[in-house]
Amino acid sequence: MDSPIPDAEGNARLLAEAKAGSNAPALSVSEISNALKRTVEDRFGHVRVRGELSGFKRAASGHLYFSLKDADAKLDGVMWKGNAARLPFAPEDGLEVVATGKLTTYAGRSSYQIVADRLEVAGEGALMLLFEKLKARLAAEGLFDRERKRQIPFLPRTIAVVTSPTGAVIRDMLHRLEDRFPSHVLLWPVLVQGDGAAAQIAAAVRGFSAMPAGGPAPRPDLVIVARGGGSIEDLWAFNEETVVRAVAECSVPIISAVGHETDTTLCDYAADLRAPTPTAAAEMAVPVRLDLAQRLAQADLRLTGGLRRFVDRARERLTALARFLPRATDIVAARQQMADEMGEKLRRGLERRADLARIQLAGASGRLSPALLYRRQALAAERLNALRLPPSLIDRRLTEGQQRLSGLDRLLRSLHPEAPLGRGFARITTADGGKSIVSSEQAVAAGKVRINFAEGHVDANVEGGKRASPKPAPARPASPGAGQQDLFGDS
């Protein structure tokens, strides 16, 4: 149990009582916290605090929470999402910064903190430390590897430029391109420093990288990211991680031309080629048209001279080789003489063959006479008359064929399945008339049948049946007229 509260005379009291005229009334915790909050905010409504970032955290809401510390003290801090989105660098633990804002209290923890409106890197030394840390981390990911570098096209048709549209940089680059080799230039205007510059530069690089071939605007063959000189703080947008990654991932070869020759940014390491100045980037992008024309003219002269020398040397070699070749008349003279001799032999042979054939024809023509031909004709006529058949034999063969054909016709009519229908019989088929039914089992299985008569048919339903026991077949009558009429006999 707590000790009693002493009174004015020093005597202990159990209950707290307010005395008349007392100027120290009891305050609630909220009242004292609010009073303390107003006092701190009135006294420290605008302060600048320098310290090292510690415990930095970015909440899902976008707010930043951190602490500023030095060797002897620590101060909690917070930056709301709207201000955090405009930070020109990525805060991290160990970075020395200057926070600008106001002091306030946080009643939930009975602590005080700074609500920062702005965070700035404390001096170029701290900024260079941040630069080196980010450079080492991105280099470890391979973004600066030499194997990633691509060859810059020799003569790009379309050049894309990412820079400010109002500065001297774009004018100098256009002037230098016009002097060297006029090209089609696409400009994506961006901020090159200050709030939002890094996001605009990254969006421009990614936009050029994503342009399709054959679209409304020509896809660039080369991208140049350019900015004039300045301090490391002025050029910091080109050190932002989002810009460096956009440059490294660009599908189009890219030249980084940021600052003057002594200025270096992380964008330079990620690009395929670094130019010391924007003007130098324009010079690297295209050759000099006059120099190129002169080089082409010289190449044409060398090519023409080389061809002429080649032809001259070939002609000399051909002339030298022609001296060892025999004359054409010497080559064909022997063959021509042989052809003349063969032609003469052929003429004499043909004449001898014609004479021989003429003699043979004269001998054969003496043996031919009309009487001989007439005699051979008469013998042939006698043989032909001997081979003729008598008409009676032909008539007998025809009569026998007709009788045999008539018998087959009668047999065909008697065996036709429709022939018995004319004598009172009927034929039962399936309902479509396609297949004949020859047993009661088939009729029951079909259910519906068609009964065909000599003239027309009727359809019937089979409701059931009983198979008859087999009976012995009746004896055939001795003659068709002595018993039942023959089903397939003549009518």
- Give me the CATH number covering residue 74: 2.40.50.140
Mean pLDDT, residues 460-479:
60
Mean pLDDT, residues 385-410:
80
Q: Is the model's pLDDT at 487 over the cut of 70?
A: no
How would residue 483 be classed by pLDDT, with cut points 50, 70 and 90? Answer: very low
What pLDDT, in 10s, does the model give residues 16-32? Answer: 665 665 666 777 888 88
The whole-number pLDDT of residue 491 equals 41
Q: Provide the residue range defining the domain that includes 459.
A: 418-465
The whole-number pLDDT of residue 479 equals 45
Torsion over CA: 208, 252, 189, 285 (sign):
negative
The whole-number pLDDT of residue 250 equals 94
The whole-number pLDDT of residue 4 equals 54
| 109 and 163 part of one domain | no
Tell whether 3 is covered by a domain.
Answer: no
Question: What tokens appear for 431 in the block?
Answer: 């309902």
Q: Which residue has the higher pLDDT, 421 or 259?
A: 259
What pLDDT, in 10s, does the model give residues 120-143? Answer: 877 666 777 788 888 999 999 999
Question: Which one of 291, 323, 345 terminates a domain?
Answer: 291
Tell whether 143 is covered by a domain.
Answer: no
Tell whether 370 is covered by a domain.
Answer: no
Tell whether 285 is covered by a domain.
Answer: yes
Name 458's Cβ contacts closer than 8 Å, sequence gap at least 6: 450, 451
Q: Is the model's pLDDT at 55 over the cut of 60?
A: yes
- Rounded CA-CA distance 184/167 in Å is 20
How would residue 14 be classed by pLDDT, with cut points 50, 70 and 90? Answer: low
How would residue 199 be classed by pLDDT, with cut points 50, 70 and 90? Answer: very high
The whole-number pLDDT of residue 485 equals 47
| 168 and 246 part of one domain | yes
| 102 and 210 part of one domain | no
| 170 and 211 part of one domain | yes
Most confident of 71-75, 168-172, 476-480, 487-491: 168-172
| 98 and 47 part of one domain | yes
The whole-number pLDDT of residue 471 equals 55
| 83 and 199 part of one domain | no
- 249-253, 299-303, 424-428, 464-468: which range is least confident on average? 464-468
> For helices 123-140 and 241-249, what crossing angle results, to 10°?
30
Assign 100 to helix, strand or coil: strand
Most confident of 102-116, 336-350, 440-454: 336-350
How far is C-alpha 191 from the chain's CA centre? 36
| 98 and 216 part of one domain | no
Eight-class DSSP state of 436: B
| 111 and 187 part of one domain | no
Tell whether 282 is covered by a domain.
Answer: yes
> b or e along 336-361 (b: 16 or more beta carbons within 10 Å of the residue's beta carbon)?
eeeeeeeeeeeeeeeeeeeeeeeeee
In the chain, the number of structural domains is 3
Tell whether 248 is covered by a domain.
Answer: yes
The whole-number pLDDT of residue 227 equals 93
The whole-number pLDDT of residue 312 equals 92
How would residue 91 be classed by pLDDT, with cut points 50, 70 and 90? Answer: confident
- Rounded CA-CA distance 50/105 in Å is 19
Q: Is the model's pLDDT at 350 over the cut of 50?
A: yes
Cβ atoms of residues 185 and 177 within 8 Å: yes
What pLDDT, in 10s, does the model give residues 411-427? Answer: 887 777 777 777 777 88
Tell whether 89 is covered by a domain.
Answer: yes
The whole-number pLDDT of residue 24 equals 65
| 108 and 173 part of one domain | no
| 163 and 235 part of one domain | yes
Tell whether 327 is covered by a domain.
Answer: no
How would residue 482 be classed by pLDDT, with cut points 50, 70 and 90? Answer: very low
The whole-number pLDDT of residue 163 equals 94
- 83-97, 192-206, 318-332, 366-380: which range is least confident on average? 366-380
Asked whether the whole model's pTM tops 0.85, one would answer no
Question: Which one of 259, 291, 323 terminates a domain?
Answer: 291
| 104 and 169 part of one domain | no
